[in-house]
Amino acid sequence: MITSMASSSPNLSSSFQTLKHKHTFPQPSPTTHHLFPKTLKPKLHTKLINSPNPIISSSPPTLTPQTHIQKDTKHPLLQQDHTPLNQIWQQIQGSNNWNNLLNPLNPHLRNEIIRNGEFSQACYDSFDFDPRSKYCGTCKYPGSHFFQKLGMSDYGYTISRYLYATSNINLPNFFQRSKLSNVWSQHANWMGYIAVSTDENEIKRLGRRNIVIAWRGTVTYLEWIHDLKDILHPAHFSDDPSIKIESGFFDLYTSKEHSCCYSTFSAREQILSEIKRIKEIYKDEEISVTITGHSLGAALALLSAYDIGEMKLNVRDDGEKIPVTVFSFSGPRVGNLKFKERCEELGIKVLRVVNVHDKVPKVPGIFANEKTKHQKYIEEKISFPWSYAHVGVELELDQNDSPFLKRTNDISCAHNLEALLHLVDGYGDRELGFCSVTNRDIALVNKSCDFLKEEYGVPAYWRQDENKGMVRGGDGRWILPERPRLDSHPPDTAYYLEQVLKFAANSTLKAL
């Protein structure tokens, strides 16, 4: 079983986690269901009561029931797929590029999209972005209590390691920094986690042991997108210099800071070494790698999936491939057309979930992208330097289809992850209308934005730590308590990274 990260040494060689977000509020009774054609203006029939999650400071308000809507069990969106997930998990992971699974949305696939979105949302809910805290830029919880603190203990996963990146790169609006001088780190930000399914019932349900890599996106307004220089940089993960990625993503993924124990290894080296280690532990089992992220985290998810494929970490000793799937939420374009083509050659499966009103998935690559005629000619023959292409299959959603959401031009609402998961929950088509298939609580939408219609009485930006983390000491004074020091890198990181590089080099020689 994978345990929490081991304590790190400052002398490490430089070479080398359905979130039902279960601050879950009780769901409507089995005799009711939110089923609303677009022409109706519904009132919510539910009652929100105290959250069982101890990190929520106060219970959301009680809502007055307005409309009682009977559940139409014959509605197409409510029909269940009685085939067990463990029999069709490869298709749900994209083995056939999700053909015939998106319209209508397969029930298993809908659940898996939401579940992976919740793994990604956990990165936001656990991240300290308060500049008045000396822990700004890190995770609030140690790995051993991560899922417990977030109400996700029943997900069946164990944190394998945390991921860090150096903040000493040219993306200042992405990284969070404390205003204090005595801080946990001057040079690093917590970027996400790697987790492994360890609960036997979950493994049986999934049909394999699953490795999840979840990347944090940006927690503030979208200034970070303006930091992108729209400059393509050779990936350097293969011998083909024509495979290029946006330079800001490249720097974030590959940079390190030797003077900081959290950034001694780059995010890339942390990913590669840990996947190698986990793969060896479970070498006799069927496993899969699922990578998820929102916003800039979605870009890192795709980049790390490509890297795993390029370094042949998804290849077993017998030559059999381990499925690598990306569930991407509101992600920008990452690389050029050659990058897209190489991801396809490597068998990387990508499902991109986007809101049509979101601007981030439209950049970079405004002038030349996958929708441009003759892009290949423009990129290769004319050597146009700003040519980008999305990778994978797109699931496009529209916030205006939901009867719960305001009509707004606020770009941060259109980009919000919880709002996107709300749209996945209710996704149908123009004839079927919006139907809350999984009964996902709409209050989650307003956790970190103001997007729900006022008639539902859910406060905007309602999620916060109890008393904002302040506790009362024995002398009656309120203080921000000290936190346990987070682990940085396991001591065997350098060893497994070296094994990755050797394996990749030998595979290349055999191919020649």
* Cβ neighbours around 115 below 10 Å, total: 18
Joined tokens for residue 256: 């390190």
The catalytic residue among 125, 128, 358, 487 is 358
**Backbone φ and ψ of 190, nearest 5°:** -75, 130
Confirm whether 9 is a catalytic residue. no
- Cα–Cα dist 282/280, whole Å: 5
The catalytic residue among 51, 185, 238, 295 is 295
CB 438 within 8 A of CB 40: no
Confirm whether 412 is a catalytic residue. no
- Cα–Cα dist 85/82, whole Å: 9
Give the angle 79-83-84 at the CA atoms, nearest 5°: 120
Alpha helices in 360-481, H assignment, sequence order: 375-380, 411-414, 417-426
CB 500 within 8 A of CB 17: no
- Tell me whether residue 317 is exposed, middle or buried, using C-beta atoms within 10 angstroms of its C-beta: 0 to 12, 13 to 18, 19 or more: exposed
Question: Between the CA of residue 491 and those of 132, 188, 277, 393, 443, what are the distances in Å?
Answer: 32, 19, 12, 38, 42
CB 418 within 8 A of CB 121: yes
3-state secondary structure of 479: strand
**Backbone φ and ψ of 445, nearest 5°:** -55, -40
Confirm whether 284 is a catalytic residue. no
The catalytic residue among 415, 436, 441, 487 is 415
Active site residues: 295, 358, 415
